[in-house]
Amino acid sequence: MRKENGNSRGRRRRRRRLPIRPAVLAWAAGGVAVLAAVIAILTTWVPNAGILPDPMQAQVDIMPDSHARNGTLHAAEERTVEEGDFWVVINQIPKVELGKKTCNLEYENPEANHYSARVNLYLTETGEHLGGTRRVDPGSYVKDITLNKKLETGDYPVTAQIELFQEKTPAGSMSLDIILRVLEEGDRIG
């Protein structure tokens, strides 16, 4: 009888341990999955989130912008763009409502262009990064961007830094001085 009791105790211990191990593994796997999902969301939908090491963030930042749409925002004349040139179509006075972060940048990369591009906005006075796009391919546009912070009512001199890419290789850059306008509540954008 002692052998039976000894065996059944050993079995009980094994039975008690087995459900705990899968539970711990499932919990750990769930934690890893949640972490991966958070990183994926931040790196996919929050341009220039800056949460990854610089080399990885650089690769993420030249991924296609998830908000880019095919087509055009504004009817424009057809143009021929020579190799090495770049046609910029951007709202020169983008607006945002007071207390909000959605800015109507209305950046368009015309189909005639040979380069993909991304646009980042910086306060001219401080150089602070306000927000931007990821890569926008020719024939696509991004209507709105999300700013990194809310601003007070007023006009802000901003530098729009445009970085050009051929595939994923940097191909040049340019900057434009524009005005970011923060409107009082109730004022209409566009």
- Residue 168's CATH number: 2.60.40.2550
Whether residues 144 and 77 share a domain: the answer is yes
Is residue 152 included in any domain, yes or no?
yes
Token couple for 162: 């445009």
Is residue 166 included in any domain, yes or no?
yes
Whether residues 139 and 73 share a domain: the answer is yes
Is residue 5 included in any domain, yes or no?
no
What is the domain count for the chain? 2
pLDDT tens for 150-183 read 999 999 999 999 999 998 899 999 999 999 999 9
**40: containing domain:** 21-51
Whether residues 153 and 78 share a domain: the answer is yes
Whether residues 85 and 119 share a domain: the answer is yes
Q: How many whole angstroms separate alpha carbon 100 and alpha carbon 13?
A: 58
CB within 8 Å of 49: residues ≥ 6 apart? 42, 43, 57
Token couple for 145: 């961007």
Is residue 59 included in any domain, yes or no?
no
Whether residues 99 and 143 share a domain: the answer is yes
Is residue 8 included in any domain, yes or no?
no
Is residue 150 included in any domain, yes or no?
yes
**What integer best gives the mean pLDDT of the chain?**
82
Which segments in the chain show pLDDT lower than 70? 1-24, 31-52, 54-59, 188-190
Q: What is the pLDDT of residue 82?
A: 87
Pairing verdict, β 169-183 and 95-97: parallel
Q: How many helices (H) and strands (E) does the chain have?
A: 2, 10
Token couple for 29: 């796997």
Token couple for 118: 């991304």
Bridge partners (DSSP) of residue 165 are: 116, 170
Whether residues 91 and 179 share a domain: the answer is yes
Whether residues 77 and 26 share a domain: the answer is no
Q: Which residue has the tokens 């006009």?
A: 155
